[in-house]
Amino acid sequence: MSIEIVRGTNQKPASSRELADLLSRQTELSGQLFIGYPIIGTPEGPYPIDALLVSADKGIVVFDLIEGTATEDYWLRQDDLANKMEARLKQYSELMERRRLLIPIHMVSFAPGVRDLASYVEDDYPLANSESLMQELEKFTWNGAREEIYKVAFTG
């Protein structure tokens, strides 16, 4: 198992590099990691996503990358990213069953520069550094994963 990394550009080079390094070394996950590549169209204009993992094991993991230690309001960014990603995916009827999205969307803020996460973490809003990222990713599951849904999500 491995992660294929597709690199674009973003304004967060240190955390992007650390995320790619961490995920490229692990062997428990498979999928594609897009860094600085996905851009969602919104009524306000293009909305870039820092990093996105599409995995047959986990579903979709959206990463809010944090340079340095500026974690304030990270939970607001997670809510905004999750809402925009869900709205984007709901446009694909193949990913829907009635009103329910068939692929889970997980969020995590990745702050490799923060050592003591406990003082920053908000309930139900994952915040990870280099030491805790894999533990956070292990919590994410995709019950009822189906290959055809994964393929639509990957190409969509």
- 155 pLDDT band, cuts 50/70/90, is low
pTM: 0.92
> What digits encode the pLDDT tens for the residues 33-92?
999 876 777 777 788 899 999 998 899 999 999 999 999 999 999 999 999 999 989 999
Task: Using a pLDDT cut of 70, give the percent of the chain over it.
Answer: 97
Q: Give pairs for 38-42: CB < 8 Å, separation 24+.
A: 40/84, 40/85, 40/88, 42/84
CA–CA separation, 145 vs 25, rounded Å? 24
Of 67-76, 92-101, 112-121, the range with the lowest mean pLDDT is: 112-121
Mean pLDDT estimate for the chain: 90
- 156 pLDDT band, cuts 50/70/90, is low
pLDDT of 136 reads: 95
| All domains in the chain, ordered by first residue | 3-155 (3.40.1350)
Residue 2 carries which side chain, given as an amino acid letter? Answer: S
For residue 58, give the 3-state DSSP assignment: coil
Cβ contact 6:24 at 8 Å: no
- The total number of residues shown for the chain amounts to 156
Q: Can you read off the two tokens belonging to residue 135?
A: 């533990």
> What digits encode the pLDDT tens for the residues 133-149?
999 999 999 988 888 88
Residue 125 carries which side chain, given as an amino acid letter? Answer: Y
Of 74-78, 128-132, 133-137, 150-154, the range with the lowest mean pLDDT is: 150-154
- The CA–CA distances, whole Å, from 2 to 20, 23, 24, 30, 97 equal 12, 8, 7, 5, 30
